Amino acid sequence: MDQPIKLKNNGQINIILHDQKARSKPIEKERETISQTEVPSKHAELRQIEEEMSALIGLDEMKKMVKEIYAWLYINKKREEQGLKASKQVLHMLFKGNPGTGKTTVARLLGKLFFHMNVLSKGHLIEAERADLVGEYIGHTAQKTRDLIKKAMGGILFVDEAYSLARGGEKDFGKEAIDTLVKHMEDKQHDFILILAGYSREMDHFLSLNPGLKSRFPVVLDFPDYTVEQLLEIGRRMVAEKEYQLSKEAEWELRNHLREITSKNQKSFSNGRYIRNIIEKTIRSQAMRLLMHESYERTELMTIHKQDLDFDL
């Protein structure tokens, strides 16, 4: 992976989430010190978000980043109280990564944090994609985009697969959507937060088409794919929440399947969504087996066996 963290006064914050291997020892030691530092208990807003994030698998760097942004905003307020320069922070963001890596979940949690810190007046999340922004005739796109921005006022506008806005070239209405977004990012930069999300490579290409666009996003988050063990842990938690349990054979079979599917590095692989779909189909498969065998003992009702696993998605 690239450098795990860059923090510049006038540049971008680049974070790589749940990726432990890329860190050099000095940085690892420094980050460990930050993570072990206890935030005073009076910071209830941060505590609340941390409790919600603790239920998420991986995303270790994200959890540290939330503390940093909180500290950044909090100290800025303290500077203002002391008459020091404390300009408002622009928090538009880029999320880069494959589907199912937690991008929407993270956006929703950030909305809550920014609401509690009075950065956003509502903190809600508006999700959108190309079809929600791009119209069918001249002027239609700008109006659709403005309407979405209006809905997002006081919260976050999350545009997934944002690179698709640039696919049609100069004459495509997607360019009109980009221009409208950029204008409102500047005019209303403290009234809402724009998050553009999508595959890493496509997002990098998208930004290269508009050299002035990247500089407007002070926070860039990279979401690596989950490891096999992280996916397996997600599966275990999903099963436990539904009051089921995996037999040892079923767990081994699931682990082997995840190793195989992740080793193929398929672009269509959807990480957390993939494991969720497997669990849901598997529970239906187990129900059919129990029905056919009329086996309704408590242990059987709770246990998922190897033959129940359904990987045909």
Helix/strand/coil (H/E/C) assignment for every residue in 179-240: HHHHHHHHHCCCCCEEEEEECHHHHHHHHHCCCCCHHHCCEEEEECCCCHHHHHHHHHHHHH
Q: Where are the alpha helices (DSSP H) in the chain?
A: 25-36, 44-53, 60-81, 103-116, 130-133, 140-152, 174-187, 200-208, 228-241, 248-263, 272-293, 298-302
* pLDDT classification of 35: cutoffs 50, 70, 90: very low
The pLDDT of residue 21 is 40
Res 33 pLDDT > 60:
no
pLDDT at position 54: 82
Question: Does pLDDT of 72 surpass 70?
Answer: yes
pLDDT of 29 over the 50 cut: no
**CA-CA-CA-CA dihedral for 82, 87, 92, 95, to nearest 10:** -50
Unique residue bearing structure tokens 């999350």: 158
Structural domain contains residue 313: no
Domain total in the chain = 2
223 strand-pairing partners? 97
Structure pTM? 0.78
Residue 160 lies in a domain: yes
- The confidence band for 171, taking pLDDT boundaries of 50, 70 and 90, is low
Domain termination residue (choose one: 167, 188, 223): 223
Q: Tell whether 187 and 257 lie within a shared domain.
A: no
Residues 208, 138: one domain? yes
Residue 281 has pLDDT above 60, yes or no: yes
Give the whole-number percent of the chain exceeding pLDDT 70: 83
Lowest mean pLDDT among 192-196, 214-218, 294-298: 214-218
Helix (H, G, I), strand (E, B), or coil: what is residue 15?
Answer: strand
The pairing of beta strand 13-16 with beta strand 5-6: antiparallel
Same domain, 232 and 218: no
Do both 207 and 237 map to the same domain? no
Kindly indicate the confidence band of residue 221, based on its pLDDT and cuts at 50, 70 and 90: confident
Higher pLDDT, 267 or 217: 217
Q: What is the CATH number of the domain that holds 174?
A: 3.40.50.300
Q: Is the pLDDT of residue 249 over 70?
A: yes
* Largest CA-CA distance found in the chain, in angstroms, rounded: 75
Q: 299-308, pLDDT tens digit by residue?
A: 999 999 999 9
Higher pLDDT, 148 or 30: 148
Query: Chain-wide mean pLDDT for the chain?
Result: 83
- Residues 298 and 217 both lie in one domain: no
Containing structural domain, residue 131:
5-223
Backbone angles phi, psi at 249, to 5 degrees: -65, -40
Question: What are the structure tokens assigned to 56, written together?
Answer: 């998420």
What pLDDT does residue 2 have?
A: 40
Asked whether residue 19 carries a pLDDT value surpassing 90, the answer given is: no
Pair (27, 155) in one structural domain: yes
Task: Sheet with 93-97: list strands edge to edge.
Answer: 5-6, 13-16, 219-223, 93-97, 193-198, 156-159, 125-128
Region 259-282 average pLDDT? 83
